[in-house]
Amino acid sequence: MCSYRIEARIETERLILRPPRPEDAERIAALIADYDIVKMLSRVPWPYTVDDARAFVSRVDELDPAFDRPLTIEHRQHGVIGSSGFHTPAESLFPEVGYWIGREHWGQGYATEATTAALGWARDVWGKRAVASGHHADNTASARVLAKAGFLYTGDVIARQSLARGEPTPTRMMIWLA
Ligand X SMILES: CC(C)(COP(=O)(O)OP(=O)(O)OC[C@H]1O[C@@H](n2cnc3c(N)ncnc32)[C@H](O)[C@@H]1OP(=O)(O)O)[C@@H](O)C(=O)NCCC(=O)NCCS
Judged by CB, which is closer to ligand X: 1, or 163?
A: 163
Q: Shortest distance, CB of residue 171 to ligand X, whole angstroms? A: 8
How large is the C-alpha radius of gyration of the chain?
15
Judged by CB, which is closer to ligand X: 12, or 54?
A: 12
CA-based nearest residue to 53, from 22, 99, 74, 82: 22
Q: What is the per-residue binding string for ligand X in 3-42, x denoting contact by CB under 6 A?
A: ----------------------------------x--xx-
- Helices 50-58 and 25-32: angle between axes, nearest 10 degrees: 130
Pick from 15, 25, 111, 117: which binds ligand X (CB under 6 A)?
A: 111
Positive or negative, the Cα torsion across 140, 110, 78, 65? Answer: positive
Separation in Å, CA 90 to CA 37, 68, 77: 25, 11, 37
- Asked if 126 is part of the footprint of ligand X (rule: CB under 6 A), the reply reads no
Please say whether the beta carbons of 142 and 162 come within 8 A: no
Judged by CB, which is closer to ligand X: 14, or 123?
A: 14
- Asked if 144 is part of the footprint of ligand X (rule: CB under 6 A), the reply reads yes
- Asked if 108 is part of the footprint of ligand X (rule: CB under 6 A), the reply reads yes
Give the sheet arrangement for strand 96-101, strand by strand.
10-11, 15-18, 69-75, 79-87, 96-101, 130-136, 167-177, 152-162
Judged by CB, which is closer to ligand X: 103, or 127?
A: 103
Contacts of 64 (CB under 8 A, 6+ apart): none
One-letter amino acid identity for 118? A
Judged by CB, which is closer to ligand X: 12, or 112?
A: 112
- Asked if 109 is part of the footprint of ligand X (rule: CB under 6 A), the reply reads yes
Pick from 72, 83, 84, 139: which binds ligand X (CB under 6 A)?
A: 139
- Asked if 155 is part of the footprint of ligand X (rule: CB under 6 A), the reply reads no
- Asked if 78 is part of the footprint of ligand X (rule: CB under 6 A), the reply reads no
What number of other Cβ atoms are within 10 A of residue 21's Cβ? 11
Applying CB under 6 A, the residues found at the interface with ligand X are 37, 40-41, 98-101, 106-112, 135, 139-142, 144-145
